[in-house]
Amino acid sequence: MKHIMPIIALILVTFFGASAQELAKVEVVDFESKHFSFKRPILIYTPQNYDESTESDYDVVYVFDAQDRAHFDEVQSLLHYGVQLPRNDRRYIVVGVTSPTLWDLDHCRNNDFLPVPEYQKMTTPYYGSADKFKKFIKEELMTYIDTNYRTSGHTLGIGHSLGASFVIDAVAKDNLFDDCIAISPNLGWDNDRFAKELMNMNFSSDKPRFIYITMGNEGLNEEDGFPVSWRPGWEKVKNFITNQTFPENVIVRTADFPEYSHNSVVLPAHLLTLREYADYRYSPAFNGSATYPVHIELTCEGIEGDVYITGNQSALADWNPEGVKMTKINDTTRAIDLNLQLPAEFKFTQGDWDSAIGISNGDSGNIRISSPERTSKHYTL
């Protein structure tokens, strides 16, 4: 019995210590838009310790069809646990964009995702608002997110089915997102319209890109509910991507999941594409080529001796722990000015990895500077 109370005390300390940490949060905002006559719920996920990590900026991932909450939850969960590599601890803001699902209304999800057709004669009223939907995202939603949250300026759009067709259209035609993941898109709609837009896209810019398109068993067997006409646009896109030479900083990939149906393919496709996306966002090979003046200060009371900064590029000593020596301003402050490619990833040390210095106002693991507009940083020990 004498061991019970200490054990209970330990459990209570562990529980309350853990509960004192800032948890990840999901806010729901009812969004009004000048482009639509109804309010649209928007889900906004901020990662653990977001409020405390005041010097951290975050990529924003936009997930469509978030009225089906599972799509949104799956992406934010996998990004922050299921697909993280041992070396990659990047965190993200995830925005779930909903669409109406009641088909008896004047507006439904298909209206959001489909433009006015150019070739196909449509008998259904559920199409034609895609351009308005893009304006809502760019002019209103993205502006709100960038104004109210610490964003890096880098975006990823993720969609399934017609949501996947929409993100392809939004990237290829309007450059709305930097990157996109499209799961089982309808590429054959309106005479292969979305397939043609992707194949006509300009990939030659200096901007890094990640585009991943996957397909389940749609069109392989009409008994599964999809006509064989679903496949030709997909085969055209696969053939184009296979035979195209892309710039070094552009990743364009496809994957087939013939053993999965239109809906069941979402999980395996997310696992594959998000893992590769996490690796892409980590890789210094996909940093922008431009450099930006960066000012970094570290307040480190109680630290004696030299402090170094080291990170993911030559200006940061390429992860040599005895990296670039910071200037001692006074007994508690070290500072340095550098020209860096962004995103820059780095750590502070005192000359070796055993003396690596953690910070209290940024994410754990690698410290990042991502936004050209937020390059003056003051970290605390």
Average pLDDT, the chain: 89
Q: pLDDT-based confidence at 249, cuts 50/70/90?
A: confident
Q: pLDDT-based confidence at 285, cuts 50/70/90?
A: low
Predicted TM-score (pTM) of this structure: 0.90
The 3-state secondary structure of 137-154 reads HHHHHHHHHHHHCCEEEE
Q: Tell me if 78 sits within 8 A of 270, measured CB to CB.
A: yes
Phi, psi of 93 (to 5 degrees): -90, 130
Strands 344-349 and 367-369: antiparallel
Summary count for the chain: helices (H), strands (E): 9, 16
Three-state DSSP class for residue 29: strand
Q: Tell me if 37 sits within 8 A of 129, measured CB to CB.
A: no
Residue 193: its pLDDT value, please? 95
- Give, in degrees to the nearest 5, the angle at Cα 328 between 322 and 333: 105
Tokens 């149906």 label which residue?
A: 261
pLDDT tens digits for 221-237? 877 778 888 899 999 99
Residue 6: its pLDDT value, please? 38
- Delineate the domains of the chain, giving CATH numbers in brackets: 21-286 (3.40.50.1820), 291-380 (2.60.40.10)
